[in-house]
Structure 1
Amino acid sequence: MGEFTEQEWEQIFSEMEANPDLYGLPERVPGSILLASFNIRKLGNPDKRSAMTWKFLGEAIRNFDIIAVQECMDDMDGLLRLMKELEGFKFISSDKTGVFPGDNGLAERLVFIYRIATVELGEVISDITYDRSKVSQLIHDNMDSLIEAKEKYDRALTDYERKRRRTKPKFDLPIFLSFIRQPFCSSFKAGIGYEDYEPYCFMAINAHLIFGSKKDRWREFEALMTWIKGRVENREKMYHPSFILLGDLNLDFDDPDKDIKKMENLMKKLDVESMKEVHVNFPFLDPHPTESEHFTSNIRLSQRYDQIGLFFHDNDGLGKGFPTHKENKSCGQDKQGPDYGVFNFTELFAKALTGESFSMKSSVKQRVFARRYEHEVSDHMPIWLRLKLKKRTSSSS
């Protein structure tokens, strides 16, 4: 079985049009905005995807107002091909990150696609890095562990050079020094065009964190959380005082009860430690009120790599309306939001093409079925967040 035929795509589009809610594809509702994050696997050479696939990708994301896209290759032809399916949208992109210029390796761009009728791009756009003084301090504070790691690496390299080891060792840093791919940050005003509602103003961060050891993943995540929290606390100096993180954080939740608890504890710690009432909320850490289990975002429905995080102040008018952690349990009750979900195209494909749920298939059949679209479409599914816009008062009209 290869990629989908044109007839199979017609079945998929027919099922999606008939039952979008069943698969978590949100409808546009006046008075709300929809934000999404979508890791589109190796979005590069347009010839490596069929015309029907490009059409599907366009249909999958055209309902949203801002979409953070990960894994856009240095070759932007694929992104430009996708934009042909998205009339009324524009994009901004980072330069390639993940590989030093001139070196071999898989580099990518981080991209924001946004609807021009409802979203206005701000003046502040930047990568996120740790400055030299911070990195120097980290090296100084962890010198002993760095020396120990170097000595371990040198011994392994000697074994490799003397044929006592088959594979060349990799030097694993025992601490965080820099991101594997620099997160990309941009300012937005979202919700323009609705005369009766106030738009949201916020900094959006698009991140694709390291896919390495669990320790490496956690170090990068903690570093990013610390950076965001530090910026949000200095609200009087910020262009916009609220942040929204969207991305593939590669957090390993193989043991959901244990791993999610660890992340929740970090979130609560950041919340409590802040002396300026910074709220931190990751809605996808909670099961949706209509679901018995947490949403998954990979096509095999087994992982929770993709996340959306909110960082804001209680008494900040521009952040008012962002749901707190306590409000997650009531998400979805109001059509205007707040709400969150996943466009589960794995389930869509399974129902449209086989007539049965993906979860009813054996693990072997699941793997075989997923292989048909993990490269052609993606190995991740879009996750989304709906925010309710605040009604304008007579004084703000």
Structure 2
Amino acid sequence: MDHAQYSVATTEDIVRLRRRIAQAGLPPRRTDANVIVGTWNIQKFGGFHPDWSENPGSPKRNLRALALIAEVVRCFDVIALQEVLRDTAALRYLMDQFLGPHWAVLLTDVSGGDKGNSERLAYLYDTRRVVLSGLAGEIVLPPTPEGLPEQFDRTPFIAGFRAANEHFTLLTVHIRYGSVPADRLPELQRIARYTAQELRARARAGQSREEPNLLVLGDFNIDKRQGNPLFDAFVETGLWVPEPLQTVKTTTGKTAKHYDQIAWFQGEDFGLKPSGRAGCIDFAGAVYQELSSAQVSPRVSDHLPLWVEFTTDRSEEGMARVLGVDIDGPEPFAGCWTERAVAVGAMGALRAGRRDSTGWSWLDGNLRLSSPAVSPPRRRVWCGACRRRRGWPFPCLRRGGWRRSGRRRAGALQAHSACCEGRP
């Protein structure tokens, strides 16, 4: 659906929402450079009202709400969704009419029983940026000597993806809420001890190549992080929440809650490269400004989406291996910027008005020697006259030395290679 078809109220909401997205520091999606992973509990994502106007009855989620949800989803390459209901009408309309044919969905069956709440878990991903690796399944705990253990109320969902040359595995969950916080502890321990840790151990032992670079994400119903027995149970096996996410709230209410998490095991076996950027998109107060927070929740959600960015461009690491330098050191390629680099780097650094160690600078479209005491680099390149015909005014070295041309402005250097003299 084109933005020109949106209602006035929806367009105003999106203008404010995009400003919030920019304030969140969410980076642009760059092909072969990064991958952005998100998670979002969209409250009771089931049916919808197929109109831009408000529905006096139920459901309250209308086209305006779906347009706002689509605006958030487009920020990510792949996003895990919780609380997708048995009725997938809103999800399918979101995919077909708002996100478009380049987006795909992978979802579970409905979790049965009263505790399952008729919910599904899902992944939405942009097929132009991310493809499935082939792995997908729901997590069932194996039998123990004591018998079959209690299963999850809402079965965790695992899937493998590939972005550029990076393979990674997502495991999304929606932990039991319970009547008291202590009711959540058993499922948190099971997901950390017997699921995530086992998957990591299999990958580290080389028993399976299908679950590399595991990320655990979703709604863990953890009220707060540090100093909380629920959070301690979640991270006791080594799962690590990136620092930018350790303090952000993940709900829209006045009281800060930290229900949602994105975490992974740190170590040499985790091959993804975090960029250090992560956060949440706080849309509260930016959309549906005419309604209260409690009224916005059934339309959009009462949870805020979390995100984390990983780098997929490994070109500098490859160059560091070739040159034998430490990519993690300060300015690992500083030693490559020598006098020989002037001929290659002048178009970039020198045009930007900088000088390098040889004393050359780029001024008024000419390469000038800032310090007469510094000799020009001894390197033969194509004739300056030839290059100028190709739109590249770059002076070249003459075999046997340099000469100044009185026909050029003072300080400009012009030389022709002997092999170029006489060329038409």
Is the TM value for this pair above 0.5?
A: yes
Which digits, 9 at most, give the CA deviation of each residue in 1:328-364, with x for residues without a partner? xxxxxxxxx23110010004238xx48xxxxxxxxxx
Counterpart of 2:265 in structure 1 is 311
- In 1: Cα distance, 2:145 partner to 2:266 partner: 25
What SS does structure 2 have at the residue aligned with 1:297? coil
Q: Which amino acid aligns with 2:207?
A: K
Q: 2:241 aligns with which of 282, 286, 296?
A: 282
Counterpart of 1:108 in structure 2 is 119
Q: 2:169 aligns with which of 193, 203, 222?
A: 203
For the 8 Å contact 1:73–1:107, the answer to whether it is kept is: yes
Q: TM-score by structure 2 length? A: 0.63
Q: 1:189 aligns with which of 162, 168, 184?
A: 162
- In 2: Cα distance, 1:387 partner to 1:104 partner: 35
For the 8 Å contact 2:66–2:94, the answer to whether it is kept is: yes
Higher relative contact order (CA 8 A, sep 6+): 1
What is the CA-CA distance between 1:21 and the residue it aligns to?
1.5
Counterpart of 1:219 in structure 2 is 186
1:287-298 map, 5 Å: 287=244, 294-298=247-251
* Unmatched segments (≥5 aa) in structure 1: 139-176, 193-198, 272-279, 324-336, 355-367
What is the CA-CA distance between 1:181 and the residue it aligns to?
0.6
1:89-128 map, 5 Å: 89-97=103-111, 99-100=112-113, 106-128=117-139
For the 8 Å contact 2:185–2:233, the answer to whether it is kept is: no
Q: 1:225 to 1:389 in 2, by over 3 A?
A: same
- In 2: Cα distance, 1:225 partner to 1:242 partner: 15
- In 1: Cα distance, 2:223 partner to 2:115 partner: 27
What is the CA-CA distance between 1:270 and the residue it aligns to?
1.9
Q: 1:19 to 1:375 in 2, by over 3 A?
A: closer
* Unmatched segments (≥5 aa) in structure 2: 1-5, 50-58, 323-424
Counterpart of 1:9 in structure 2 is 10
Runs of 4+ residues over 4 Å off in structure 1:
23-26
What SS does structure 2 have at the residue aligned with 1:210? coil
Question: Matched residues, percent identical?
Answer: 23
Q: 1:320 aligns with which of 271, 294, 301?
A: 271
Q: 1:369 aligns with which of 289, 292, 295?
A: 292
Which digits, 9 at most, give the CA deviation of each residue in 1:73-104, with x for residues without a partner? 1112121011121121101110001x23xx79
Q: Which amino acid aligns with 1:303?
A: K
What is the CA-CA distance between 1:116 and the residue it aligns to?
0.4
For the 8 Å contact 2:115–2:153, the answer to whether it is kept is: no
Q: Which amino acid aligns with 1:307?
A: Q
For the 8 Å contact 2:273–2:310, the answer to whether it is kept is: yes
- In 1: Cα distance, 2:138 partner to 2:127 partner: 23
For the 8 Å contact 1:40–1:378, the answer to whether it is kept is: yes
Q: Which amino acid aligns with 1:120?
A: V
Which digits, 9 at most, give the CA deviation of each residue in 1:285-320, with x for residues without a partner? x456xxxx8101111152110100113541x4xx32
Counterpart of 1:179 in structure 2 is 152
What SS does structure 1 have at the residue aligned with 2:251? coil
Q: Which amino acid aligns with 2:136?
A: I
For the 8 Å contact 2:14–2:287, the answer to whether it is kept is: no
For the aligned residue pairs, the C-alpha RMSD in angstroms reads 2.8
Structure 1 residue 66 and structure 2 residue 78: aligned?
Answer: yes
Q: 1:369 to 1:25 in 2, by over 3 A?
A: farther
Structure 1 residue 56 and structure 2 residue 64: aligned?
Answer: no
Q: 1:24 to 1:378 in 2, by over 3 A?
A: farther
What SS does structure 1 have at the residue aligned with 2:144? helix
Q: 1:23 to 1:390 in 2, by over 3 A?
A: closer
Counterpart of 1:386 in structure 2 is 309
Structure 1 residue 251 and structure 2 residue 196: aligned?
Answer: no
What is the CA-CA distance between 1:26 and the residue it aligns to?
4.2
Q: 1:306 to 1:22 in 2, by over 3 A?
A: same
Q: Report which of the two has the higher share of helix.
A: 1
Q: TM-score by structure 1 length? A: 0.67
Counterpart of 1:86 in structure 2 is 99
For the 8 Å contact 2:156–2:173, the answer to whether it is kept is: yes
For the 8 Å contact 2:142–2:148, the answer to whether it is kept is: no
For the 8 Å contact 2:217–2:263, the answer to whether it is kept is: yes
Q: 1:339 to 1:243 in 2, by over 3 A?
A: same
Q: 1:107 to 1:265 in 2, by over 3 A?
A: closer
